[in-house]
Structure 1
Amino acid sequence: MTNPHGSFIWYELMTSDPDGAARFYGAVVGWTVAAHGDAGAPGGVDYRLIGRSDGGHAGGVLALDADMIAGGARPGWLGYLYTPDVDGAIAAITADGGTVHMSASDLPVGRIAMLADPQGAPFYVMNPIPPEGAGDAPADVFSTTEAQHVRWNELATSDPDAAIGFYQKHFGWGQEGAMDMGALGQYRFLQHGGAMIGAVMPLMEGYPVPAWTFYIGVDDIDRAVAAVTANGGRVASGPHEIPGGEFSANGVDPQGAAFGLVGPRKG
């Protein structure tokens, strides 16, 4: 894999209703989610790929079964960070106060584990096995400019300084620049692989626990926001103009997973 260590290489929606989620994100974003889970998925889980209009993949959908829900799993989005050494990452992260939510395991697509940073925000680490014929092609689920890709990764956390230091140390991220939000504190920008990939902000009212929010690129922010409410979701905030002239919004899908949207205003 040619992605640098610490890159976001996959995004996963955990949901109680994959068919409902497919209809929702199809209308809002333009994605196509497979109608059925992969019959070869380990443990018989219902796991479906998210397809983009350009033929690539935007991530996957994991159907939460009764056992997962009984164990505390809830609808939500998670990101996968690339590491060539999953077990080494687990050891280093737990030594620095992180926790293991799912131990390392080998899947047909690679070795993965689910962890949480010291403040409690969950994420996956993964050393993937490229699909047959893909060679060393980089994962392209994240893009700073393209619709139907995640375009921004935002961490709300109880300790921004500690969180920034953690991701700098373990994933090689940079932190330069910030936007003053007044009484809400600083919105501090993150860089990786020569690009601005997101930001860290203080945990605010409405964010019960530290968590990542992923902003999905759309072709028209007003069309997408209208589609959220028309298809059973809820708009939590926005659209708000952001630096550069585009707009962002936050929402909750019909199953309860929080997400963000970002794109131009065409009206």
Structure 2
Amino acid sequence: MAGLPIWYELMTADLAAAGAFYRATLGWEVPPQGEAMPGGVQYAQIGRADGTSAGGVLTLSRAMQDCGARTRWIPYFHVEDVDASVAAAEGLAAKVQMPPVSMDGVGRMAMLADPQGAPFYLMAPTPPAGQPEAKSEAFDPFKAGHCRWNELNTTDGAGALAFYEALLGWTAGMKMPMGAAGDYQFLEHAGIAIGAINPVQEGPSHWLPIFGVANIEAARAAATETGGKVTVDLQEIPGGEFALNVDDPGGAALGFVGPKGASQ
């Protein structure tokens, strides 16, 4: 469905360290070597135990790092017409970081930064051969091993909300006061709670994917044992589950959400 997140891409300089971390925390499989891409980089698909894809990993070359690219997670949002959406985004003060490009069997995509600087992709995907109705399973608000929540940490909550409402048709849901920083604003699309805008007083603005786990305590232990760093420790959230934020071994920020004590 247009407007929903459909893919997540990890940009990292160390594919092996990333593979060990995400295997331990989320049960994902990241190939030790990805497919060769132009510019001396590799692209590896992240597999789940059920055979579906959680996203992809793009290795960062030294040249990319020298130009400012850094380890991070970046979401892809589904649009019907990438070129028209890019033009609309530019009219809303977004900046194009990679102009629209088509990839055979994958789709057409472009990379942008929103007005506050948070990077994201727009994509019109090509369905797999023989599966015209296929849908992405990268995002699922309820399942472990999937991204369950998309949190935009931004220096201008009101501006960010206006931008994504206009570009992707999102709507504002409930909100929680966060003191001087502003409100934690829930985001919805077509009746689906997809995430929230989290106001921060200092940048850089960025998207934080929060992945579901079956056992939050086990995920925390696995994260620290494989080189991750806890940045926001366990906090109970509405509904009785728990969440925490971590940096992976390369420094990419992400979160985990799930119950305590369940078996993995």
Unpaired stretches in structure 1, ≥5 consecutive residues: none
Residue of structure 2 in register with 1:51 after alignment: 47
Residue of structure 2 in register with 1:131 after alignment: 128
Query: d(CA) in 1 for partners of 2:30 and 2:203?
Result: 30
Amino acid at match of 2:242: F
Residue of structure 2 in register with 1:74 after alignment: 70
Residue of structure 2 in register with 1:173 after alignment: 170
RMSD: 1.4
Residue of structure 1 in register with 2:143 after alignment: 146
Residue of structure 1 in register with 2:19 after alignment: 22
Q: Is the 8 A contact 1:215 1:262 kept in 2?
A: yes
Q: Is the 8 A contact 1:203 1:209 kept in 2?
A: no
Residue of structure 1 in register with 2:207 after alignment: 212
Give how far 1:43 is off.
5.5
Q: Is the 8 A contact 1:31 1:50 kept in 2?
A: yes
Amino acid at match of 1:71: C
Give how far 1:69 is off.
1.0
**Percent identical:** 48
Residue of structure 2 in register with 1:237 after alignment: 232
> Secondary structure of the equivalent of 2:74?
strand
Under a length normalisation based on structure 2, what TM-score does the superposition of the two structures give? 0.95
Give how far 1:27 is off.
0.4
Amino acid at match of 2:259: P
Residue of structure 2 in register with 1:89 after alignment: 85
Amino acid at match of 2:253: A
Q: 1:10 aligns with which of 3, 7, 11?
A: 7
Residue of structure 2 in register with 1:156 after alignment: 153
Could you report, residue by residue, the CA deviation over 1:145-164 in whole angstroms, capped at 9, with x for unpaired residues?
A: 10010000001111111111
Amino acid at match of 1:16: A
Unpaired stretches in structure 2, ≥5 consecutive residues: none
Q: 2:59 aligns with which of 56, 63, 75?
A: 63
Q: Is the 8 A contact 1:45 1:63 kept in 2?
A: yes
Q: 2:110 aligns with which of 93, 110, 113?
A: 113
Query: d(CA) in 2 for partners of 1:43 and 1:135?
Result: 32
> Secondary structure of the equivalent of 1:74?
coil
Query: d(CA) in 2 for partners of 1:147 and 1:193?
Result: 22
Residue of structure 1 in register with 2:199 after alignment: 202
Residue of structure 1 in register with 2:186 after alignment: 189
